[in-house]
Amino acid sequence: MARSTARVLTLLELLQAGGIQSVATLATRLGVDERTVRRYVAQLVEMEVPVESIRGRHGGYRVAPGYRMPPLMLTDEEALTLLLGLIVGRRSGGVPIDDETVEGAVGKLRRVLPRRTAARLDALLSSADLAFLSPSGRSGAEAIGDTDPEVLMVLAEAARDRHPVAIGYTRKDGLASRRTILPYGIVARSGRWYVTGHESRTGEVRTFRVDRVSDPVVLPGSFNVPADVDVSAAVLASLAATPWRYQVSVRVAGTPEDLHSQFPAGLVTLEPASSDDTERWTRVRLRAERLDWVANYFAGLGRDFAIEEPGELREHVRALAERLLAACGDDASKPVPPSSPGSTPV
């Protein structure tokens, strides 16, 4: 059904290109037989698209002169949600489609958007590194998080066009200030957005969380990005130096090679946790401000794991286990015997 709908929309695009399209030509372009083309035309007519049938030797189909599909009136936030939903869905495996199909859908989305919105999405795609927008159980909307799409788009355009930006920024401790930055680029990492660039006040390359940025104003002038600046590496280095509330260490069944693809790049460090060739375990270390998502993430790996630290993570896992058991109607009060001292088996 989804593929049939896509072909009907493709047929509409072909007809809107202008002129009379023969049934044979349309069948070839769509990869279907002529009878199917006629069925797709009937569907367009049912949708009140004025498709005209032209008889004769050079006949075929055309859309009534002057008819155009109205632009897809999406807000920047809605367009960004759809775009990120396609990207995240493809990378997580949640949407069983290939890269070519995703690229085609993104292209069509951009073509039917109002010019201003499409231009802003182009700016984001050209100036942002989406490599770390990895599987994290987030939908397209959640991938935007608390970020104001207007702020994100302004920063993306400034990064693409190499213009300075004055921003309001609120630090983690609540201290707010006004700064001027030269935005080198934007990085998406596990549902958050970061902008890295030269800050005029300190003269250093700094990384800022976009959801803490407010009132960006593009300033006159231009700049060049230094050749030795790697925006993605700068973001990861900044995050690595950031103090976090929890240091997490969990042993997971499997080798580091087995687990490498199950974690977003830069999120964790992996090291062998046993020398037993018959039972391989890996120690997974990461840092986090909150533990609720950590419990869900490890539970979603589909592997045995044992918590080493912090102790608070055990409570989150127990609470998750109780909710799951309650959903099954099982007795959640039955104790689970530990497999080794100092760890909680799951």
Residues 231 and 323 occupy one common structural domain:
no
Residues 166 and 271 occupy one common structural domain:
no
Task: Please give the pLDDT value at position 121.
Answer: 79
- Domain limits for position 271: 246-345
Contact 143, 191 (CB under 8 A): yes
Q: State the CATH number of the domain containing residue 264.
A: 3.30.70
Residues 117 and 136 occupy one common structural domain:
yes
Amino acid at the residue 70 = P
Task: Please give the pLDDT value at position 55.
Answer: 85
Residues 328 and 190 occupy one common structural domain:
no
Residues 164 and 40 occupy one common structural domain:
no
Give a yes or no: residue 159 inside a domain. Answer: yes
At which of 205, 237, 269 does a domain end?
237
Give a yes or no: residue 308 inside a domain. Answer: yes
**What domain count does the chain have?**
3
Residues 310 and 232 occupy one common structural domain:
no
Give a yes or no: residue 317 inside a domain. Answer: yes
Task: Please give the pLDDT value at position 3.
Answer: 55
Give a yes or no: residue 70 inside a domain. Answer: no
Give a yes or no: residue 7 inside a domain. Answer: yes
Task: Please give the pLDDT value at position 178.
Answer: 94
Contact 219, 163 (CB under 8 A): yes
Residues 200 and 182 occupy one common structural domain:
yes
At which of 213, 237, 261 does a domain end?
237
**Could you read off the pLDDT of 199-218 as tens digits, one per residue?**
988 898 999 999 999 999 99
Residues 87 and 230 occupy one common structural domain:
yes
Give a yes or no: residue 71 inside a domain. Answer: no
Give a yes or no: residue 69 inside a domain. Answer: no
At which of 237, 265, 294 does a domain end?
237
Task: Please give the pLDDT value at position 138.
Answer: 43
Task: Please give the pLDDT value at position 94.
Answer: 52
d(CA 141, CA 147): 10
Residues 305 and 341 occupy one common structural domain:
yes
Residues 250 and 209 occupy one common structural domain:
no
Q: State the CATH number of the domain containing residue 12.
A: 1.10.10.10
The residue ranges of the chain whose pLDDT is under 50 are 1-2, 92, 134-143, 332, 337-346
**Could you read off the pLDDT of 238-261 as tens digits, one per residue?**
766 667 788 899 999 988 888 887
Residues 91 and 211 occupy one common structural domain:
yes
Task: Please give the pLDDT value at position 70.
Answer: 63
Residues 8 and 149 occupy one common structural domain:
no
